[in-house]
Amino acid sequence: MTEQTKYLLDESKLPKAWYNINADLPVPPAPVLHPGTLEPVTPDFLSVLFPMSLILQEISTERYIEIPEPVREIYKLWRPTPFIRARRLELALDTPAHIYFKYEGASPVGSHKPNTAVAQAFYNKQEGTKALTTETGAGQWGSALSMACNFFDMDLEVYMVKESYYQKPYRRMMIESYGAQVFASPSNRTQFGRALLDEDPDAPGSLGIAISEAVEAAATSGGTKKYSLGSVLNHVLMHQTVIGLETLQQFEMAGEYPDVIIGCAGGGSNFAGFAFPFVHQNLTEGKTTQVIAAEPAASPSLTKGVYTFDYGDAARMAPIVKMHTLGHSFIPPSIHAGGLRYHGMAPQVSALVDAGYVEARAVKQLDTFKAALTFLRSEGIIPAPESSHAIKVAIDEALQAKESGERKVIAFNLSGHGHFDMTAYDAYLHGELEDYEYPAEAVAEALHQLPQAMAV
Domain boundaries of the chain, sorted by first residue: 6-14+67-110+235-447
Give the pLDDT score at 340.
66
**Residue scoring higher pLDDT (316 or 405):** 405
Of the listed ranges 142-151, 198-207, 321-330, 442-451, the one predicted with least confidence: 442-451
- Exposed/middle/buried for 224, CB within 10 Å: 0-12, 13-18, 19+? exposed
pLDDT at 387 over 70: yes
CATH class of 6-14+67-110+235-447: alpha beta
**Residue scoring higher pLDDT (342 or 154):** 154
Sign of the C-alpha dihedral, residues 82, 178, 175, 325?
A: negative
Give the pLDDT score at 455.
43
Residues 6+ apart with CB under 8 A from 168: 138, 139, 338, 420, 421, 423
pLDDT band at 447 (very low <50, low <70, confident <90, very high): confident
pLDDT at 4 over 90: no
Of the listed ranges 96-110, 307-321, 329-343, 390-404, the one predicted with least confidence: 329-343
pLDDT at 268 over 50: yes
Of the listed ranges 208-222, 255-269, 279-293, the one predicted with least confidence: 208-222
Q: Could you tell me the pTM of the whole model? A: 0.94
Which amino acid, residue 85? R
Cα distance between residue 344 and residue 233, in whole Å: 11
Percentage, residues of the chain above pLDDT 70: 96
Cα distance between residue 188 and residue 166, in whole Å: 17
Q: Of how many residues is the chain composed?
A: 456
| Whether the Cβ atoms of residue 175 and residue 146 lie closer than 8 Å to each other | yes
| Whether the Cβ atoms of residue 1 and residue 251 lie closer than 8 Å to each other | no
pLDDT band at 456 (very low <50, low <70, confident <90, very high): very low
pLDDT at 2 over 60: no
Which one, of 419, 81, 4, lies nearest residue 253 by Cα?
4
pLDDT band at 411 (very low <50, low <70, confident <90, very high): very high
pLDDT at 43 over 90: no
DSSP result, 141-207: HHHHHHHHHHHTT-EEEEEEEHHHHHH-HHHHHHHHHTT-EEEEES-SSSHHHHHHHHH-TT----H
Give strand pairing partners of 133: 157, 227
pLDDT band at 337 (very low <50, low <70, confident <90, very high): low
Give the pLDDT score at 444.
81
